[in-house]
């Protein structure tokens, strides 16, 4: 993922391989679908400040998204 810094939209639904570290390199994302992803935590989405759409359905490791508002 680090080789795609200008990526705008990404669907990682039901993906169990992407980690917080991988997401941190995608700061230009505006649309991200992470539903049912068990690897991502609050730390992983905290740097994604350009998001206009975010799906965190069934992402049980996400506890606080206040840093995105």
Q: Which residues contact residue 37 at a Cβ distance below 8 angstroms, ignoring those fewer than 6 apart?
A: 12, 13, 14, 15, 16, 18, 59
Q: Is the pLDDT reported for residue 68 higher than 80?
A: no
In the structure, what pLDDT confidence band is assigned to residue 69 with cuts at 50, 70 and 90?
Answer: low
Q: How is 13-63 classified by DSSP, letter by letter?
A: TT-SS--HHHHTT-TT-SEEE-TT-SS--HHHHTT-TT-SEEE-TT-TT--
Residue 68 three-state SS: helix
Q: pLDDT tens digit string along 1-59?
A: 678 888 999 999 998 888 888 888 888 999 999 999 888 998 888 888 899 999 999 98
Q: What is the SS3 assignment for 64?
A: coil
């Amino acid at each position: 993922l680090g080789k795609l810094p200008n990526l705008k939209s990404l669907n990682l639904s039901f993906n169990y391989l992407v980690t917080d570290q991988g997401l941190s390199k995608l700061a230009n994302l505006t649309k991200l679908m992470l539903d049912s992803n068990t690897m991502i935590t609050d730390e992983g989405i905290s740097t994604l400040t350009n998001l206009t759409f975010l799906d965190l359905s069934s992402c049980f490791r996400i506890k606080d998204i206040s840093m995105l508002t």
